[in-house]
Amino acid sequence: MEDPGSSDAGGFFTQKTPILGQKLFIIIIATVVVVVAAFALILLFLRSRSSRRRLIGVNQSSGLLPLVFTKTGDEREADQTQRKSEMKKVFVIGGVDAESESKESSTMQSESSSAMSASTDGLGSSRWGRWFSMRELQIATNQFSTQNVIGEGGYGIVYRGVLQDGSVVAVKNLLNNKGQAEKEFKVEVEAIGKVKHKNLVSLLGYCAEGTQRLLVYEYIDNGNLEQWLHGNVGPVSPLTWDIRMKIAIGTARGLAYLHEGLEPKVVHRDVKSSNILLDRKWNPKVSDFGLAKLLGPEKSYVTTRVMGTFGYVSPDYASTGMLNEGNDVYSFGVLLMEIITGRSPVDYSKPPGEMNLVDWFKGMVASRRDKEITDPLMDVPPPPRAIKRILILCLRCIDLNANKRPKMGQIVHMLEADEFPFRVEPRPIRDTETLQARVSISNRDQLAN
């Protein structure tokens, strides 16, 4: 015997409604599907928006830095495709043997493994710095939470961490793509493991457990130069001319120490604005030595696969693969242009003749448009004589003849000379000059009579 209640309920839900003549239960199901889909789209949008607003190279809780949005997955993939096509052209021009680079990579990996086994054999610390356990770094970074990400790139992801003693550190978790983590780990440890310089980021220690390779650095809490030059800083940039020169001088000092103060010397190979970290007093610190190369005293250059960031790589290195400190000098010249102009080395949003910073810069100098070169976001323009000195220095750094480029030590002296005020008062005329002037006037009067 049927239940009358169930029959009535079934009849109620099967009744036709005025909405397209559909039955009530179909309308209910369609409404639920639409609501669920809308909710999913909202969640997806919020998640995408949150990831786009993640700051590069700084703890977003500070709220004091200009926003520099990370790119979406599609944009990153397009950029990678473009970079690969550009670098393929470079490799073909340079004629560099990729197989030799692969052999070099495998050799470095085996050397790194033996070095690590020697340095971590039952020791809590080594000559390279303190040894951290994976557990310790997991706790410091809250299990490598996305909320603590302060930078990411092809080399890996950098997290902000707080150690048990309360000190704040930056933890770089190297991506192990075909042994690349092992290679970059060895390079960075050897390049700056024992280096202490106020304009170089200090390596505090490392972690090597299994295939995991992590590096622990001092934490710099004011972001990087790229953010302050190209981020949303408002109508007036906080980077005054004096601050920009302070950043340029500090960066030059750090690179000069790598080139001239170490043995073997270190060629950074990736000098760019995003690798210049800044503290609260605008003191710069050069970071990210994953692409660095060591150059022994008997070598003037090394031949290697062309690496670096498009727009900063010197033409001679791109065409031959021959690397020396002159390549860092070229990159520094581009960086110096970027500092004084506020323009990116390559900007596809600009008109065709202005996309490449170096070409645009040379054209502006050639047409004597010095006053139009400086960043319009600077509230007070620099003195004309100061800007002319910097323009000349930029052109010397990017000279196509690598042998004519100045050394980093010379660049430091050139920049420091601009720190002192120029004499603007008129030079007093000496007695002999006064006498000569009077004689000249007297002779002219006699001829006139």
**Catalytic annotation, pick one of 270, 288, 328, 375:** 270
| Residue 220, amino acid | I
Q: Report the distance separating Cα 310 and Cα 86, nearest Å.
A: 8
Is-contact 148 160, C-beta < 8 A?
Answer: yes
Which residue, chain included where needed, has tokens 């008997």? 298
Using CA atoms, how far residue 181 sits from 69, 172, 175, 293, in Å, is 26, 11, 5, 16
User: How does 417-429 read in b/e, with b if 16+ C-beta sit within 10 Å?
Assistant: ebeeeeeeeeeee
Is-contact 96 87, C-beta < 8 A?
Answer: no
Helix residue ranges, H only, 321-421: 325-341, 357-366, 384-397, 408-417
Q: Report the distance separating Cα 136 and Cα 274, nearest Å.
A: 28
Helix residue ranges, H only, 218-342: 225-230, 241-260, 315-320, 325-341
User: Could you confirm whether 418 is annotated as catalytic?
Assistant: no
Sequence-distant (≥ 6) Cβ neighbours of residue 377 within 8 angstroms: 233, 235, 236, 237, 342
Is-contact 377 235, C-beta < 8 A?
Answer: yes
Using CA atoms, how far residue 335 sits from 210, 314, 416, 435, in Å, is 38, 12, 17, 51
Q: Report the distance separating Cα 331 and Cα 346, nearest Å.
A: 13
| Residue 4, amino acid | P
Which amino acids are annotated catalytic?
270
